[in-house]
Amino acid sequence: MWRIGRQLLRGLVLFLVCTTVVPVVVAVVVLGSLLFLPLPATLPEPRPTASSQSSRVLDAQGNEIAVFQAFELNLPVQPQDIPLVLKQAVVAAEDSRFYQHSGVDIRGSGRALVRDLQGSETLQGGSTITQQYVKLTYTGKERTLARKVREAVLASQLDRKVDKDEILFRYLSTISLGEGAYGVGAASETYFRKAVSQLSLSEAATIAGVVPAPSFYSPRDFPDRAEQKRVLVLDKMLEEGFITPIDHANAVRAKLVLGDKPANPKLATVVYPREQVQSRYPYFVDYVRRFLVNKYGEDLVFRGGLTIQTTIEPDLQAKAEKQVADALAGTKPFKDPKKNGDPNLLNMTLVAVEPGTGRVKALVGGRDPNDKYIGKVNRALGRCFRPKADVKVEVPAPCWKDQAPIEGGGSGDQPGSAFKAFTLAAALEKGISPAKTYSSAAPYRVPGCKGDKCEINNANDNISSGGSLTLAQATTGSVNVVFARLGAEIGNKAIAEEATKLGMSQVWQSPSVHGASYTLGAIEVASLDMAGAYGVFANRGVRVPNTPIVKIVDREGRVVEDNLAPKGERVMEESVADTMNGLLRGPLESGTAKGKGIDRPAAGKTGSTNDNFDAWFVGYTPNLSTAVSMGYDEGQPLKGIKGVATVFGGTIPAATWQGFMKQALEGVPPTDFNAPPPVSNVEDETRRRERGGIDPGDKREAIATSPGGPYELGGTGAKQVTGTRTVAPTTTLPLPTTTTTSTTRPNGGLFGG
């Protein structure tokens, strides 16, 4: 019997070997033969290159406001035009064994795999330069095993048929290097305004650093990342023996600098600003560009012949720009003698979002671009800050998941007490009543804290020197010590989770970095996110993500994106949102923004940072949520500005918000937060456009809500919803046919109201 069993077992093993092991061995032998034996090389015809078509950008009414198109280099680049230093930089960074392997580097692929498994950062990937060129020319970017195998086989065949220097030249002549530039000639012109043959060692290293991810390592959008990558490339060049230690040291000292006129161009690697897309709305168009590149990639955006209908309403945008211009009129830059007297610009942002649709109706990212003191960045978009890898993070920022996160290139603004809304919302969702009392005695000493940042004070010493306040009263008066005690009670992690849930894409939290001042806004945010997050309260707990897009169609008329009927996600119970709306009416009615009301139900929160570096007001109605921030490009107290001794959120920012909202909602009947949502129909479209795009809904009486609000609290539960708020329909405009064309901020506690 056991003999029969042994025979069956042998038969089973033989069957498994024949059906699994043998085919694998045969496949490996065949693949190895194709890769490494000197067989005749046959290459397919290169994939046809799609003709480059510019993409048109339209406003909400169908008027063209910008054109996105690929950078075109008129002068051809010849092999002798590309300097040796650039070839060496790219080879060192991308494929150090380029001249040794036969198109496929088994050793390099294995090394990259090990580093990936270890989770360490590596300068080189697993694909060789030859494989990358094959992907560009023959196989495309489809993420399949079959494509990778075909890529490897073709790379090996190409290596046998074409000289190494010719392969490198073809690669450098076709690769995408960001900003719509294809090839090193175009990249040299667009970043450094010089012929590729004139590139310095440092400039060559900068271009080589862009290769792996042009959007992520953009020298213009993310200069800090580009600088780090430039130094890494220089280190690799030194390691490979391409440059001497003296050359390396000199090039490392030539740090990356943005601008037309650096203080000492001989000691810097100067990256020139992009030639602005001609538009009446440069900040909004910049937002659209970043949004689309993050979502679809540069190739489709700059060469895809898209027709992009955006959400911007020209009338509202004009009103927003005027309010910002009026607020900044007459101000002059602060010249810091410690920084060579370079001007430190006073700036302001304003972003208006429609809560029920997430559509960005107006966006101002700084001073008038035509102003002689032009701002350097799009401040409305903030920045996606990443801590060092060894920092323990409890709540990661949502923007960290993006290859090219939407950010404005600056250092971001701290929201101050405007961030308290997220602490308040988190407390309500944990069942804490607005009627609960807390000691308002100042200063508040953080339990167990050691050092000079353990005391929290109130911005206004006259608020309270003792006694108790309810949470509702503390919200109206923006009492820091109460919110510090509340933050200690619920924890910073809960606050961060609440903020990210509401749409704060750049908020993160670490117990080793963030302390008691976290609840007071000790973290950089974007005014775009603040307007959207407060809009969730206005939309009674339903979040519709911010978007600048109504609809996109490609050159063939196929729909790429359609937001005519946006979907929302319930992230907060209606009762909690209604309570938030009631509590946040307090600052406008009797608190830190008293006198800045707009003669209709509205809610909002002031924000001022430690030492008054930034000042905010974020406020909303059921129809429109608007955030206003103000601050210098570099840390400088907001003092003595236009007759205001110290600028708090309730002064110039709140006045700017008030002026904009009154004009934006002119002619729109008032509605309360717990009234039926605004609704319009096709017949209302003409009147809607006259009002700048705000949907009034049916006429109804305002329902009074006390600052205390309804205190009915329930559990939360995120779920997909449609129809919780009726979204005002947008009339789809006929899309025209396409045309064919060939800074550093200080950290620290925020003790402002």
98-123 pLDDT, tens per residue?
999 988 887 655 554 444 444 444 44
pLDDT single digits (tens) 181-215: 889 998 998 899 899 999 999 999 999 999 998 98
Q: Percent of the chain scored above 90 by pLDDT? A: 53
Look at residue 543 and give its three-state secondary structure: strand
Tell me: do 236 and 327 sit in the same domain: no
> Residues 481, 457: contact at Cβ < 8 Å?
yes
Q: Give the total residue count for the chain.
A: 753
Return the closest-CA partner of residue 298 out of 216, 180, 174, 208.
180
Please report whether residue 12 resides in a domain: no
CATH number at residue 166: 1.10.3810.10
What does the pLDDT read at residue 435?
Answer: 95
Q: Which residue has the tokens 């944990």?
A: 430
Residue 283 vs residues 376, 582, 682: alpha-carbon distances, Å: 11, 33, 31
> Residues 619, 657: contact at Cβ < 8 Å?
yes
What does the pLDDT read at residue 127?
Answer: 85
Does 24 have pLDDT greater than 70? Answer: no
Task: Return the structure tokens found at 181.
Answer: 């530039």
Does 149 have pLDDT greater than 60? Answer: yes
What does the pLDDT read at residue 665?
Answer: 96
What does the pLDDT read at residue 370?
Answer: 60
List phi, psi (to 5°) of 551.
Answer: -160, 145
What does the pLDDT read at residue 119?
Answer: 46
Q: Which comes out higher in pLDDT, residue 361 or 177?
A: 361
Q: Which residues contact 445 (CB under 8 A, 6 or more apart)?
A: 454, 455
User: 271, 303, 337: which is the final residue of a domain?
Assistant: 271
Q: At what angle do helices 492-501 and 420-429 cross, to 10 degrees?
A: 100
Please report whether residue 128 resides in a domain: yes
Angle of CA points 358, 360, 363, to nearest 5°: 150
Sheet bearing 603-608, strands edge to edge: 360-364, 346-353, 625-632, 614-620, 603-608
Look at residue 357 and give its three-state secondary structure: coil
Does 700 have pLDDT greater than 50? Answer: no
CA distance 11 to 475: 79
What does the pLDDT read at residue 219?
Answer: 92
Q: Which residue has the tokens 């009034």?
A: 696
CA distance 415 to 428: 21
Q: Which residues contact 28 (CB under 8 A, 6 or more apart)?
A: none
Give the DSSP per-residue string, 300-358.
Answer: HHHHB--EEEE---HHHHHHHHHHHHHHHTT---EE-GGGTT-EE-EEEEEEEE-TTT-
Q: Is 458 left (phi over 0), alpha (psi -120 to 50) or beta?
A: beta
Give the DSSP per-residue string, 557-598.
Answer: S-EEEE-SS--EEE-S-HHHHHHHHHHTTHHHHHSTTTT---
Please report whether residue 222 resides in a domain: yes
> Residues 340, 356: contact at Cβ < 8 Å?
no
Residue 383 vs residues 6, 456, 710: alpha-carbon distances, Å: 68, 27, 36
> Residues 400, 509: contact at Cβ < 8 Å?
no
Q: Percent of the chain scored above 70 by pLDDT? A: 73
> Residues 225, 405: contact at Cβ < 8 Å?
no
Tell me: do 336 and 461 sit in the same domain: yes
pLDDT single digits (tens) 217-255: 999 888 889 999 999 999 999 999 999 999 999 999 999
Does 694 have pLDDT greater than 60? Answer: no
Does 562 have pLDDT greater than 70? Answer: yes
Please report whether residue 86 resides in a domain: yes
Residues facing residue 553 across a β-bridge: 307, 559
Give the pairing type, strands 55-58 and 307-310: parallel
Q: Number of folded domains in the chain?
A: 2
Tell me: do 169 and 252 sit in the same domain: yes
Task: Return the structure tokens found at 406.
Answer: 């939407």
Tell me: do 473 and 622 sit in the same domain: yes
Does 421 have pLDDT greater than 90? Answer: yes
Residues facing residue 619 across a β-bridge: 604, 626
Q: Position 459: which residue type?
A: A
Q: Position 86: which residue type?
A: L
Task: Return the structure tokens found at 689.
Answer: 């456009």
Look at residue 355 and give its three-state secondary structure: coil
Tell me: do 86 and 202 sit in the same domain: yes
Task: Return the structure tokens found at 527.
Answer: 């005014």
Look at residue 366 and give its three-state secondary structure: coil
CA distance 691 to 696: 9
CATH number at residue 460: 3.40.710.10
Does 161 have pLDDT greater than 50? Answer: yes
Q: At what angle do helices 527-538 and 420-429 cross, to 10 degrees?
A: 40
Look at residue 648 and give its three-state secondary structure: coil
End-to-end CA distance of the chain: give it in Å, rounded.
88
Does 722 have pLDDT greater than 60? Answer: no
Tell me the pLDDT of the chain averaged across its residues.
81
What does the pLDDT read at residue 259?
Answer: 75
Return the closest-CA partner of residue 196 out of 94, 83, 88.
83
What is the reported pTM? Answer: 0.75
* DSSP structural state of residue 18: I
Tell me: do 253 and 384 sit in the same domain: no
Question: Which DSSP helix (H) or strand (E) runs through 470?
Answer: strand 468-470
Angle of CA points 662, 664, 666, to nearest 5°: 65
CA distance 256 to 232: 13
What does the pLDDT read at residue 246?
Answer: 96
> Residues 418, 425: contact at Cβ < 8 Å?
no
Please report whether residue 108 resides in a domain: yes
Count CA within 13 A, CB hemisphere, residue 535. 31
Lowest mean pLDDT among 78-82, 204-208, 690-694: 690-694
Tell me: do 380 and 504 sit in the same domain: yes
Range of the domain at 129: 70-271
Residue 508 vs residues 119, 252, 480, 571: alpha-carbon distances, Å: 21, 32, 21, 18
Q: How confident is the model at residue 34 (pLDDT cuts 50, 70, 90)?
A: very low
Tell me: do 337 and 256 sit in the same domain: no
Q: How confident is the model at residue 272 (pLDDT cuts 50, 70, 90)?
A: confident
* DSSP structural state of residue 161: H
Q: Which comes out higher in pLDDT, residue 317 or 161?
A: 317
Q: Position 487: which residue type?
A: G
Return the closest-CA partner of residue 449 out of 517, 501, 361, 369.
517
CA distance 552 to 288: 12
Look at residue 69 and give its three-state secondary structure: coil
Q: Which comes out higher in pLDDT, residue 278 or 61?
A: 61
User: 244, 271, 298: which is the final residue of a domain?
Assistant: 271
Look at residue 705 and give its three-state secondary structure: coil
What does the pLDDT read at residue 75?
Answer: 47
Does 401 have pLDDT greater than 60? Answer: yes
Q: Which residues contact 262 (CB under 8 A, 6 or more apart)?
A: 268, 270
Q: How confident is the model at residue 154 (pLDDT cuts 50, 70, 90)?
A: confident
Mean pLDDT of 615-629: 97
Please report whether residue 11 resides in a domain: no
Tell me: do 498 and 641 sit in the same domain: yes
Please report whether residue 702 resides in a domain: yes
pLDDT single digits (tens) 626-672: 999 999 887 789 999 999 999 999 999 999 999 999 999 999 999 99
Please report whether residue 347 resides in a domain: yes
Q: Which residue has the tokens 């002031």?
A: 606
User: From the CB of residue 688, how many other CB atoms can be counted at a distance below 10 Å?
Assistant: 21
Tell me: do 330 and 257 sit in the same domain: no
List phi, psi (to 5°) of 144.
Answer: -135, 155
Does 585 have pLDDT greater than 90? Answer: yes
Residue 296 vs residues 33, 129, 299: alpha-carbon distances, Å: 38, 24, 8
Mean pLDDT of 532-536: 98
Tell me: do 216 and 360 sit in the same domain: no
Tell me: do 392 and 508 sit in the same domain: yes
Does 134 have pLDDT greater than 60? Answer: yes
CA distance 367 to 348: 7
Return the closest-CA partner of residue 192 out of 248, 286, 257.
257
Q: Which residues contact 633 (CB under 8 A, 6 or more apart)?
A: 344, 345, 347, 375, 376, 377, 410, 743
Lowest mean pLDDT among 41-45, 103-107, 545-549: 41-45
What does the pLDDT read at residue 442?
Answer: 83
Does 352 have pLDDT greater than 80? Answer: yes
Does 502 have pLDDT greater than 90? Answer: yes
What does the pLDDT read at residue 707?
Answer: 41
What does the pLDDT read at residue 182?
Answer: 84
Does 60 have pLDDT greater than 90? Answer: yes
User: 236, 256, 271: which is the final residue of a domain?
Assistant: 271
